[in-house]
């Protein structure tokens, strides 16, 4: 992977990780366009997501390092269980789906249609504080996260935020809990991916590639710091509809480009 391609993909990741438009989908499409489809490219796309997610720890450091509130960590542990179980059982399915950008484009389009109606479906939130989220609600939100694993391009952020709103969380709290849940989820995904690569193809983890990973993580982290603040404010004020239209337009454009074989 060239340095330029790594920078482009890292910027895309930082901009899209916390938006309900699928960072995985955007990176997969960008990689396909730039013909970056090797084993290292797939590893890069996973690891830099954790770099972006670290911005959550920085912005919400009081929450993450308040060890007196053990219930917060218990909720995150409960919420991550479905994704860990499903990811371990169906990793081959996930990898195969990520190699099919046409399917990702279709899921992006259909996910956009769903976002057009989310604000109407969940108009009466009852929970606006993290302390009020029960373990059961945390687990259900974690189950919604599995949908983004089954359908790459759906958006982990969109799935978990919608799951939170379905459980009566306010938009702001649903978004924040989605961010919190992303930290252990992407940490687990990054560790497993690095371990699998080290075990199966250790030569890929050479000095140049490790430097590229660090560069990508750093860029994704900085860009995500800016994007996360924008998203919270925008979501509270305008809701999901604009993101829905964006996904529809992008999904349709990609399907047309694939159909006419302008991109492959």
More confident residue, 31 or 90: 31
pLDDT at 124: 84
Q: How far apart are CA 39 and CA 123, in angstroms?
A: 43
Q: What is the chain's length?
A: 264
Considering the chain, what is the average pLDDT of its residues? 89
Which residues, 6+ apart, have CB-to-CB distance to 94 below 8 Å? 87, 149, 152
pLDDT at 94: 66
Burial 33-69 (b: 16+ CB within 10 A, else e): beebeeebbbbbbbbbbbbbbbbbeebbeeebeeeee
Per-residue pLDDT band at 93 (split at 50, 70, 90): low
Considering only CA atoms, which of 156, 11, 167 is closest in space to residue 86?
156
pLDDT at 19 over 90: no
pLDDT at 33: 84
Which percentage of the chain shows pLDDT scores above 70? 95
Is residue 55 a contact partner of residue 221, using CB atoms and an 8 Å limit? Answer: yes
Which percentage of the chain shows pLDDT scores above 90? 52
pLDDT at 237: 83
Inter-CA distances, 72 with 26, 66, 105, 163, Å: 31, 9, 36, 18
pLDDT at 40: 92
More confident residue, 219 or 263: 219
Per-residue pLDDT band at 91 (split at 50, 70, 90): low
Which pLDDT tens digit goes with each residue over 95-120? 666 667 788 888 889 999 999 998 88
Task: Specify the pTM.
Answer: 0.88
Is residue 178 a contact partner of residue 160, using CB atoms and an 8 Å limit? Answer: yes
Which pLDDT tens digit goes with each residue over 252-263? 998 888 888 776
pLDDT at 234: 85
Taking residue 227's Cβ as centre, other Cβ atoms within 10 Å add up to 21
Per-residue pLDDT band at 89 (split at 50, 70, 90): confident
pLDDT at 238: 85
Is residue 77 a contact partner of residue 183, using CB atoms and an 8 Å limit? Answer: no
Mean pLDDT of 8-26: 90
């Amino acid at each position: 992977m060239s340095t330029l391609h790594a920078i482009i993909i890292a910027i895309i990741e930082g901009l899209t990780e916390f938006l309900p438009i699928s960072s995985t989908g955007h990176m997969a499409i960008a990689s396909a366009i730039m013909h970056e489809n090797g084993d290292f490219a797939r590893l890069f796309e996973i690891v830099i997501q954790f770099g972006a997610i670290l911005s959550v720890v920085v912005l919400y450091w009081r929450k993450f390092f308040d060890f007196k509130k053990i219930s917060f960590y218990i909720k995150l542990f409960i919420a991550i269980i479905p994704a860990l179980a499903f990811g371990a059982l169906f990793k081959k399915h996930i990898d195969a789906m990520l190699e099919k950008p046409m399917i990702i484009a279709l899921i992006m389009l259909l996910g956009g249609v769903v976002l057009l109606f989310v604000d109407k479906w969940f108009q009466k939130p009852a929970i606006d504080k993290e302390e009020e989220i029960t373990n059961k609600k945390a687990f259900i939100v974690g189950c919604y996260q599995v949908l983004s694993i089954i359908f790459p391009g759906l958006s982990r952020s969109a799935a978990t935020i919608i799951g939170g709103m379905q459980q009566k969380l306010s938009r702001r709290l649903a978004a924040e809990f989605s961010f919190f849940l992303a930290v252990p989820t992407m940490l687990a995904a990054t560790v497993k991916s690095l371990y699998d690569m080290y075990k199966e193809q250790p030569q890929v983890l050479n000095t140049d590639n490790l430097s590229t990973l660090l560069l990508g993580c750093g860029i994704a982290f900085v860009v995500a710091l800016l994007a996360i603040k924008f998203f919270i404010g925008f979501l509270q004020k305008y809701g999901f509809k604009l993101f829905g239209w964006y996904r529809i337009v992008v999904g349709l454009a990609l399907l047309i480009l694939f159909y006419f074989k302008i991109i492959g």
